[in-house]
Structure formats: C-alpha cells, structure tokens
Amino acid sequence: MSVIDIGQAVILGVVEGLTEFLPVSSTGHLKIAEGFLGIPVDDQAVVGFTAVIQVGAIAAVLVYFFRDIIRFAAAWGRGLVRPEARQEHDYKFAWWVIFATVPIVVAGLLFQPLIKGPLASLWVVAGSLIAGSAVMWAADRFGTGERREAETTLPDAMLVGSSQILALLFPGFSRSGATISTGLLRGLDRVAATRLSFFLSIPALTGAGVYELKDAVGGGVDVLPLLVGTVVSFVVAYASIAWLLKFVAGHTFTAFVVYRVVVGVALLGLLVTGVLNP
C-alpha cells in the first residue's frame, strides 16, 4: 500500500505549486500539510515524494520562461565557439547560473543525514519560518533596488545561489525567500532578484527531484500518486509564477513577512499543545 494516496497527492501538489516560488517555504508548508494528513514527515519515501513533485513546479518555470531560457542557451552556445560572443551578458549569466548551483549540490550531498533526519522536524519548520521572516524584513528595509537584471554580476549569482543552502538545511526558511532576499540585499530590484531566484531554481530543484526519485518509488510511494502530485504542482505553480512577478513589481514583501510569523507562531502553539506531532 502506498504511503501517500491520490487524494493526499492532490493536496500536496496544490501546496507545492502555491508555495514553491512564493517566499513562504514550500517545504515548510508541505511538512505542515503532511502533519495534518497524518503522513510521517521524516519518512524517506515522503521526503522523496516532496522532492519529486517539485519537478512539476520546475516544469512550470521552464514553460513560463521558455523564451528567456532559449536566449541564454543560444548565447551560451555562441560563446563556446566564438570568443567575441563571450562578452555578451546572457553568455556570462548562463555560466553564472551553473557556477551558483555548485554550492547547494555540495551541501546537499554532504548534509543528507541531517536533512532527512534531525532537521526534518516541524519544530525546525516553525523556527525557520520566523527566522526567515527577519531576513526578508531586513532585505525589504535595507535593499536599495538600484540595479536591474542586466547589471547582475557573478558575485550576485554566487551569493544568491549559496543562500539556497539555508532552505536546504532548514525547512521553513524558504528557498525563494532566501534567494530573493539575498538579491535585494545585493542591490537588485525586486523583479531582477525574483527572476534570478527562478532561474537558479531550475538546476537545483530538478537535481533534487531526480536524486530523490529512487527513495520515493523504492520507499513505498506508488507511481500514480507521484504523477498526480507532479501534474497538479505544475498547473498551480504556473499560475503562482505569473502572479508573483506582477506582485513584486509594485509591492514590498511585508504581507509575506507577517504571514510567515503568524504561521510560525501558530505552528509552535500546535506543537506545544500536542495537536501536531513534530
């Protein structure tokens, strides 16, 4: 019997699609949802399932940013064969995304026992939601927003890419929250920081999904719930990407900061009273 049924897969797919790119932590919300559904959050098959359905969200990024991705890929290809093309920003940007993915890959391989063990806890989620809110508030408060995407540099990409490690180690911190906040603190405007976060998500989350597939299927999750969760994640994530890009163009992240603190405090209350099992 599958540890996750189709109904649960639909719910988790909706949660993943809604929260993967919003700075509220998809991993944290998935673990909260799993807790309410009675699914063991530290089961390796469940951890693998949540990583695999992220591929649906990544597919939404690939479709939404298809023209940009083709532009970067074409510039990268030109630069490989024509030295003069290596001065193009798109060529450099493509390499920067590759370089900036290395830190999270290394961290993911080194800290697997922690990620799937002690850190896979709702206590960690609650604390990380609140701690991540402080970082987002600081980014909103101190980020100058003076640079656009064309002014992105290698140090920007490396620091933003490395910030993904916070979300990897501390579910609830939010990968998008960490990366967007880092971009803002580097002086990028909100749209540039958000788009950079999206592009960096492609290799990181795709790699995680492929790596965890064996644990999801081999650990007791049937193929059908995996497919259902992934498809639902894709549809919902596509809509959330379109909404977020419009939102950040004219709003601060205050609403997300408040929301995260409320959820974090509420989760602590549920854990302390025993309503939820950590």
Kindly report the average pLDDT of the chain as a whole number. Answer: 89
Q: What is the pLDDT of residue 120?
A: 78
Partnered with residue 188 across adjacent β-strands are: 147
256 closest CA partner among 16, 9, 19: 19
Q: Say if CB 46 and CB 264 are below 8 A apart.
A: no
**pLDDT digit string (tens) for 51-106?**
788 889 889 999 999 999 999 999 999 999 999 999 999 999 999 999 999 999 99
**pLDDT digit string (tens) for 115-142?**
777 887 889 989 999 999 999 999 999 9
pLDDT band at 44 (very low <50, low <70, confident <90, very high): confident
The dihedral sign for the CA sequence 147, 149, 150, 155: positive
84 φ/ψ angles, rounded to the nearest 5 degrees: -65, -25
Residue that has been written with the tokens 């690939």 in this structure: 62
Interval 195-215 mean pLDDT: 80
Q: Is the pTM of this model over 0.85?
A: yes
Q: What are the structure tokens assigned to 258, written together?
A: 């408040």
Interval 255-270 mean pLDDT: 94
**pLDDT digit string (tens) for 156-195?**
999 999 999 998 899 889 899 999 999 999 999 999 999 9
Q: Is the pLDDT of residue 1 over 60?
A: no
pLDDT band at 32 (very low <50, low <70, confident <90, very high): confident
Q: What is the pLDDT of residue 35?
A: 83
Q: What is the pLDDT of residue 213?
A: 65
Interval 222-227 mean pLDDT: 86
Partnered with residue 116 across adjacent β-strands are: none
Q: What percent of the chain has pLDDT over 70?
A: 95
Question: d(Cα 33, Cα 41) in Å, to the nearest integer?
Answer: 9
Write the DSSP assignment of the chain as a string of letters: --SS-HHHHHHHHHHHHHHTTTTT-HHHHHHHHHHHTT--TT-HHHHHHHHHHHHHHHHHHHHHTHHHHHHHHHHHHHHHH-GGGGGSHHHHHHHHHHHHHHHHHHHHHHTHHHHTTTTSSHHHHHHHHHHHHHHHHHHHHH----B-GGG--HHHHHHHHHTHHHHHHSTTS-HHHHHHHHHHHTTB-HHHHHHHHHHHHHHHHHHHHHHHHHHHHHTT--HHHHHHHHHHHHHHHHHHHHHHHHHHTT--SHHHHHHHHHHHHHHHHHHHTTSS--
Q: What is the pLDDT of residue 27?
A: 79
